[in-house]
Structure 1
Amino acid sequence: METLFLLAVATVVIVLIFDYTNGFHDAANIVATVIASRAMTPAQAVIIVGVFEFLGPLLGGTAVANTIGKFITLDGVAPVLALSVLLCGLIGAIVWNLATWYFGIPSSSSHALVGGLIGAVVVAVGADHVAWGFAELAQGRLTGITKVLAALVLSPLIGFWVGFIIHRLMSALLRAASPAANARLRGAQFVTAAGLAFSHGANDAQKSMGILTLVLLLGGFIPSFEVPFWVMLACASAITLGILSGGWRIVRTLGFAIYRVRPIHALGSQLTSAGVILAASIGGAPVSTTHVVATSIMGIGASERPRAVRWAKAKDIATTWIITIPGAALVAIQAYALVNLFIGARA
């Protein structure tokens, strides 16, 4: 019992560390276009984004948490082993997040979490404990991994085309506008950046809420999968602290390296990203803020000057996205091998 309690505490701490690194890693995704278009100073951006990031997990519901907490099935697995699996999956995601942050690569925390958990579950207890959702897909229903992967794959495509269309509409509406309109576009970004921060908190913090609730359930600390309020508060606090710490290395990539962002582009990207992510949160679909923001910028650039989009940089980013799930899975597998040596989790 003592081992179970200590392992549960350690796993809760690691969940919150992941939540922190998620915010730290994704801070640049939220503020990149605001800063690149000179709508806000970094200090202004951090304050506004921090406030609305905190509100997102508290007011955004728990639909995404339910999806994330149920795509792996550890019922019937010994509690110590089950918590070890979660611990190692989270370690895989954290290590991948920090590595991609260090190199300034806008990778996806969501992909890293999915990859880490799948890797740890498969190596520790077998692929049968992953809710793949293939049978349900044949019946026209999206559940389990198929729902998660569908959201992660489709959301960037939706972000691209929504960004493309929004920019065309905005360009048509502002065709006769004077240069002074840029000031109003910058002012509007105070609202759209707040909306993007809220939607990010509502989607990304819920991933940690789902895993933390699963830890409590598997450890026998709660009777059913219902997210306690203190879990919402803890995850909201952790991701907000991460946002305030800021992984600013990625601002240059999203704000300048894909397409040169001006106020009209920034506003369009924020509108697109906030709308797509908020809609996904309502539908319980975990998406990647990194993906949606980056592809919205690509879509906006493609609608205006396709040749000015730095597609080579976009290709580099896409390659990183593709290798994130297997990369995080491999780290999680190695972590499980080490943890299993120390605590003898396998039963």
Structure 2
Amino acid sequence: MSADLIGIVVVIAVAMGFNYTNGFHDAANAIATSVSTRALTPRAALAMAAVMNLAGSFFGASVAKTVGQGIIDLPDGKDSLVIVFAALIGAIAWNLITWWFGLPSSSSHALIGGMVGATLAAAHTVLWDGVLNKIVVPMIVSPIVGIILGYLVMTGILWLFRKAHPGRVSRGFRLAQTLSAAAMAFGHGMQDAAKIMGIVVLALNVGDFHEGDTIPLWVYFLTAGVLAAGTYAGGWRIMRTLGRRIIELDPPRGFAAESAAATVLYVAANFGLPISTTHTITSTIMGVGATKRISAVRWGVAGNIVGAWIFTFPGAGIIAALTFFISDLIV
């Protein structure tokens, strides 16, 4: 086996390691509200999320293209494979740190932060226009849209069912949450599986094992399968934060949060914007909670989450840069 092939195999294996951590780190995004409202049992919710992640991954090609070609510009060769490797290690490390503390940070921004940090450390080209327009701006705008949309959807539900019996409404929305949770999981697959596919295609290109931005069929199945396995492993620490600590959710509010978040994810994926599923669902939960009363949202917890958001990009970038320097000395 040639050195180049070994390098590709190692990078893809590490990419699948990140993919697995993404699955259990972000499993909570799709199912926390459904589990906290008892619309679904934890294992049933995880199984459903794994299947829908798998299905959604086949509809995220535009997001994969952005990640693979729109953020960094790498020449072919060993040095570029080391950059991709370091970026993945930075993202994995940040995922594990935030998972340990139960903070729903963004795996997507950890990955992109790692890519930028490793590329800067290697003195290669970062496509700053792409980072600004397709990463930073959506990173800021999507939570704002999520809060507003979550608030509006929940306001509409409260008005439409204002005269209905609360018990019947709650039972009905508990059933409806099965669909909204599935939609959220499908959007997670469109976004997060696609980002990993973009990284794998980038690695294949710089390793001279592939050309262009088309995604080989085996990359679809490998990436989606590993993400589904990671999702089924669960992310109980983060699930508790999203499902209970921001606001106490009931079925109508859970449905509103998931529906609003899924809508934002689908629109972003259609434009090839790799937004954070974590940011999106967290912001819609905040918006939904604000319809009860502003003080119903535990803003202290929300502030800790926002802090994790702010530090994700540079945190993963610094770890990736250090990993690149160490790896470059060894390789």
- Give TM class, smaller chain: over 0.9
Q: Equivalents in 2 of 1:340, 1:71: separation in Å?
A: 24
The corresponding residue for 2:66 is: 67
The corresponding residue for 2:142 is: 155
Q: Does 2:90 correspond to 1:116?
A: no
Q: Does 2:215 correspond to 1:218?
A: no
Q: Equivalents in 2 of 1:48, 1:8: separation in Å?
A: 32
Report the secondary structure of 1:107's partner residue.
Answer: coil
Report the secondary structure of 1:224's partner residue.
Answer: coil
Match of 2:266 among 278, 289, 299: 278
Q: Equivalents in 1 of 2:42, 2:76: separation in Å?
A: 48
Q: Which runs of 5+ in 2 are unaligned?
A: none
Q: Equivalents in 1 of 2:217, 2:136: separation in Å?
A: 28
Give me the identity figure in percent.
39
Residues 118 and 73 of structure 1: CA distance in aligned 2, closer, same or farther (over 3 Å): closer
The corresponding residue for 1:138 is: none
Q: Equivalents in 1 of 2:98, 2:183: separation in Å?
A: 26
Report the secondary structure of 2:122's partner residue.
Answer: helix
The corresponding residue for 1:2 is: 2
Report the secondary structure of 2:272's partner residue.
Answer: coil
State the Cα RMSD in Å: 1.2
Report the secondary structure of 2:38's partner residue.
Answer: coil
Task: Please list the CA deviations of residues 71-110 of structure 1 after superposition, one character each: whole Å capped at 9, or x if unmatched.
Answer: 34434x3510001000001100000001110111111101
Q: Does 2:253 correspond to 1:265?
A: yes
Match of 1:227 among 215, 234, 245: 215
Kept after mapping to 2: 8 A contact 1:71/1:145 = no
Report the secondary structure of 1:125's partner residue.
Answer: coil
Q: Does 2:66 correspond to 1:79?
A: no
Q: Does 2:314 correspond to 1:318?
A: no
The corresponding residue for 2:179 is: 191
* Residue identity in the other structure for 1:149: V
Report the secondary structure of 2:281's partner residue.
Answer: helix
The corresponding residue for 2:55 is: 55
Q: Equivalents in 1 of 2:101, 2:279: separation in Å?
A: 17
The corresponding residue for 1:167 is: 154
Kept after mapping to 1: 8 A contact 2:72/2:119 = no
* Residue identity in the other structure for 1:50: A
Kept after mapping to 2: 8 A contact 1:3/1:80 = no
Residues 144 and 226 of structure 1: CA distance in aligned 2, closer, same or farther (over 3 Å): farther
Displacement after TM superposition at 1:304 (Å): 2.0
Which deviates more from structure 2 when the two are superposed, residues 304-313 or residues 80-89?
Answer: 304-313
The corresponding residue for 1:44 is: 44
Displacement after TM superposition at 1:145 (Å): 4.0
Task: Please list the CA deviations of residues 176-203 of structure 1 after superposition, one character each: whole Å capped at 9, or x if unmatched.
Answer: 1112221110001111111111111011
Q: Equivalents in 1 of 2:60, 2:112: separation in Å?
A: 21
Matches within 5 A, 1:294-309: 294-309=282-297
Kept after mapping to 1: 8 A contact 2:72/2:126 = yes
Match of 2:105 among 104, 107, 118: 107
Match of 1:340 among 319, 328, 331: 328
* Residue identity in the other structure for 1:104: G
What TM-score, normalized by structure 2, do the two folds share? 0.97
Matches within 5 A, 1:118-157: 118-126=116-124, 129-133=125-129, 143-157=130-144
Displacement after TM superposition at 1:228 (Å): 1.0
What TM-score, normalized by structure 1, do the two folds share? 0.93
Task: Please list the CA deviations of residues 18-53 of structure 1 after superposition, one character each: whole Å capped at 9, or x if unmatched.
Answer: 111111100112111001111011122112111111
The corresponding residue for 2:31 is: 31
Kept after mapping to 2: 8 A contact 1:67/1:144 = no
Displacement after TM superposition at 1:3 (Å): 2.4
Which deviates more from structure 2 when the two are superposed, residues 300-309 or residues 258-267?
Answer: 300-309
Q: Equivalents in 1 of 2:323, 2:72: separation in Å?
A: 20
Displacement after TM superposition at 1:144 (Å): 4.4
Q: Equivalents in 2 of 1:153, 1:233: separation in Å?
A: 32
Q: Which runs of 5+ in 1 are unaligned?
A: 134-142
Q: Equivalents in 1 of 2:171, 2:241: separation in Å?
A: 24
* Residue identity in the other structure for 2:64: A
* Residue identity in the other structure for 1:105: L
Q: Equivalents in 2 of 1:73, 1:203: separation in Å?
A: 19
* Residue identity in the other structure for 1:36: S
Report the secondary structure of 1:192's partner residue.
Answer: helix
Matches within 5 A, 1:230-245: 230-245=218-233
Report the secondary structure of 1:304's partner residue.
Answer: coil
Matches within 5 A, 1:15-30: 15-30=15-30
Kept after mapping to 1: 8 A contact 2:121/2:321 = yes
